Amino acid sequence: MGKPTGFMEYDRQLPPDRSEQERIRDWNEFHTHMDTEDLREQGARCMNCGVPFCHTGKIIGGMAMGCPLNNLIPEWNDLVYRGEYEEAYRRLSLTNSFPEFTGRVCPAPCEGSCTLGMHDPAVTIKNIECHIIDTMFERGAVKARMPKKSTEKRVAVVGSGPSGLACADMLNQMGHRVTVFERADRPGGLLMYGIPNMKLDKSVVLRRAALMKKEGVDFKFGTDIGKNYPAAGLLNDYDAVVLCTGSTAPRPLEVEGAELDGVYYAVDFLSRNTKSLLDSNLEDRQYIDVKDKDVVIVGGGDTGTDCVGTSIRHGCRSVVQLEIMPELPENRLPSNPWPEYPRVKKTDYGQEEAIHVFGEDPREYETTVTKIEGDENGRVKKVHTVLVEWTRDETTGRMVSKPIAGSEKVRDADIVLLAMGFLGPEQELLRQLGLKTNERSNIDADDKDYKTSLSGVFAAGDCRRGQSLVVWGIREGREAARAVDKYLMKNRD
């Protein structure tokens, strides 16, 4: 512990984001890095507490407590303070396959469980993590790690999202011959097409995939298992199969008018924008155009926020983000104590930009859509909403919403974007393989061996656990790789 009194001497500081006025004019990342000396001070704030909770990775109250990857956070915080970046990178890489991803898009449950956070602002763990890996890439210190052996066992990984990439990376390092099948034209899954470029520049994803390819991982793009590649072929051609297909079946809005022209799922809106950006810098216009249009976003989560930021960059006339849940408090409630993940209100980049452009926060809480009205050509023109109140059902004990009479509202809308989450994995491939699913339609496989109901087939990530965080996807991919390796070595010819 290089600075025992650091947490008392230094305040929490983050590098300033690019200004709203500047960043809404482009698609570049809006986060910046601190200079080295300021970052050293932030590393010094780590208390090296006797029982750190930041890296525990447990689930409490349905939310992660600490880092699911069990990152060795106090160790590399101290190493950054000492200026030993190479060793900090080595310690970080022991547990995290892709810190350049989590350092950008993870909501940092580690910081919510930081011991310092009990009485002062938490250590800037996420920012330090991102700085370590970006610094090492800039120095050319992140090099291809060639496997030291080959088992000649062939493994197919279906899906190149966080769990698929993490699984493929570890299996390759274990000496297995890994092929990653991806139905899109680029690697990354939601990292590529589900998260906008301003949050995660796609060069970061492509850089990591190129490194994995150099290390021996084979990528097959434009390959949709069960459609243009037979599912049975995987079982015949590979010694093991790992399904990392994600939770990609979007939750529909079941109201009158949901089928109208101008109603889109958020995932389609975001993915088409990113593909057009990468293919032609938006010149091919193969995206959903919202310029000079009134945009209504149904869903108050991160995906809804991404839709806000994307719509503003395209020059929408107005944007509103409807959230059925109540507004969160500014500070932790007694019912949400440390070290649980803090359920507090956050104003993210999309809301900041909306406030800058339109003068107000786009979010409207405890509001639900009752009807979408169309014009004579079948296009959206109005959205009908109502306020709701939440009460506890006496029978089930669950919180339920009820409309408030007299709170109805009709608002103009040219585009409606549905950002209400996902119901589970797409089912066709699972049916073709005859896999057992659970009550939530996810692939039935536990988190001990990740085995499905079909011998030699494993599942990891959102298709197994349901819609979750990138950091959980990476963890599941790594753990599934260990389970597959154990299976293959036990069944070695």
| pTM (two decimals) | 0.96
In a domain, 148, yes or no: no
In a domain, 300, yes or no: yes
Question: Domain holding 32: CATH number?
Answer: 1.10.1060.10
Of 138, 172, 189, at which residue does a domain stop? 138
In a domain, 146, yes or no: no
Into how many domains does the chain fold?
3
Question: Domain holding 331: CATH number?
Answer: 3.50.50.60
For residue 461, the model assigns a pLDDT of: 97
Same domain, 260 and 281: yes
In a domain, 147, yes or no: no
Same domain, 127 and 243: no
For residue 1, the model assigns a pLDDT of: 62
Q: What is the dihedral of CA 205, 211, 213, 215, to 10 degrees?
A: -150
Give me the residue label for tokens 């650091």.
Answer: 6
In a domain, 59, yes or no: yes
Same domain, 166 and 278: no
In a domain, 436, yes or no: yes
In a domain, 222, yes or no: yes
Same domain, 446 and 408: no
In a domain, 356, yes or no: yes
Same domain, 90 and 50: yes
Of 138, 170, 187, at which residue does a domain stop? 138
Of 138, 162, 184, at which residue does a domain stop? 138
Give me the residue label for tokens 């297995």.
Answer: 176
Q: Which domain holds residue 296?
A: 252-420
One digit per residue, the tens of pLDDT, for the chain of length 493 reads 668 899 999 999 999 999 999 999 999 999 999 999 999 999 999 988 888 999 999 888 777 799 999 999 999 999 999 999 999 999 999 999 999 999 999 999 999 999 999 999 999 999 999 999 999 999 999 999 999 999 999 999 999 999 999 999 999 999 999 999 999 999 999 999 999 999 999 999 999 999 999 999 999 999 999 999 999 999 999 999 999 999 999 999 999 999 999 999 999 999 999 999 999 999 999 999 999 999 999 999 999 999 999 999 999 999 999 999 999 999 999 999 999 999 999 999 999 999 999 999 999 999 999 999 999 999 999 999 999 999 998 888 899 999 999 999 999 999 999 999 999 999 999 999 999 999 999 999 999 999 999 999 999 999 999 999 999 999 999 999 999 999 999 866 5
Same domain, 115 and 28: yes
Same domain, 100 and 65: yes
Same domain, 244 and 297: no
Same domain, 344 and 410: yes
Same domain, 11 and 78: yes
Query: How many angstroms separate the CA atoms of 213 and 69, rounded?
Result: 24
Same domain, 190 and 270: no
Same domain, 189 and 244: yes
